[in-house]
Amino acid sequence: MLRKIIFIFIAAIFFGINAQAQGCAEPASDDGAVNVFGFLQAQYDYGFTEGDNTSTFGFNRARIGVMGNIPYDFSYYVMIEASPFKKGSPNAYLLDAFITYKRFDFAKISVGSFKSPFGLELSTPCHALPTINRSKFVNELTAPDRDMGIMLLGGSDTTLFRYSVGYMNGSGLLVEDPDKYKDLVGRVLVQPFDWMHVGGSFRFGKSNSQDETVTEPDERTRLGAEFEVEKFGFLVQGEYIWGENIGSYLIGGGCGGDPELVQGSVKREGLSIMALYNTPWNLQPVIKYENYNSDLSIAGNNNMEHVTTIGINYFFNEWTRLQVNYEYKAEWAHEIENDMLMVQLQVRF
């Protein structure tokens, strides 16, 4: 694990700065006006599965919210997810809702429900992801991706250091904490140039065991490393996450989805490398490689999953984007037919 973290940092030295937002946008003005915003992602998926292939239209995300500043030191942010495909329910639900005290740029304070401040891909707003899907290891190792709590954050794109540290329930999206334990989550970026950053993240937490016969609390640990470079129209980024759970752990989830609780202890890790190029013709070719080992105790990497995403993004304007992705998936233990072709049209307002 340590060698992979070191690799991420060294690679960054030889290869811009990603937003560290709790939500998907920031208030546009300080005049107290209410800003209505959101985005819609209409999507078509074609699955190359064993037996019959699958084909479906749907909404990846359908979000609307309000945000604004309250003169002179406070801001607010509220967002609702209306896509029925996220939680398998036709009902819309509250995704983010937080208040920020922002008098001091070096030490802002947010309280409410927001993204956990961990890692590069999770911190990237959903509408700004270069690929349609986040990496699988990010979805699983950062769960719960949203939580209730308080966060201290500071720095900006122009400062050498940038940080965010959250003290959070650890129980997930808008779920009351059933015990006395809390999670400590944080992310620190070093920005030596305006076109590069390196960073690290951590998460430490405990919770009461779901097994009533167990008296010791469950424990979870996450460590991550990242880099991002944007120069001459190229964007290159990489991320590594290592995680250990003692007692039980979550799989699945991500971006508002419900993760599944699994009893038992496990160590897991994942790695991704992505590159894209901004052409003069509003076209953006992108390629991303990721791997995920869902149980490091299994010899021979027989449970290792590899996904290579090849895509093209076309920007009609700054509010409208078309994405086409092909995911080639390979499993070392048993190769199965499960590739995916996805087409997504996104509008923001």
Quickly list DSSP for 73-135.
TEEEEEEEE--TTTTS-SS-EEEEEEEEE-S-TTSEEEEEEEE----HHHHS-GGG-SSSSPP
Is pTM beyond 0.85 here?
yes
| Among the ranges given (60-74, 78-92, 241-255, 306-320), the one the predictor scored with the smallest mean pLDDT | 241-255
Answer whether 122's CB lies under 8 Å from 115's CB: yes
Domain boundaries, the chain: 2-21+42-60+120-145+159-348
CA-CA distance, 329 to 340, in Å (whole number)? 8
Q: Each residue of 17-70: pLDDT tens digit?
A: 333 456 665 555 556 788 999 999 999 999 998 778 899 999 999 999 999 999
Answer whether 209's CB lies under 8 Å from 217's CB: yes
pLDDT on residue 143: 87
Answer whether 114's CB lies under 8 Å from 96's CB: yes
CATH 3.90.76.10 assigned to 2-21+42-60+120-145+159-348: no
Q: Calculate mean pLDDT across residues 275-283.
A: 97
* pLDDT of 202 strictly over 50: yes
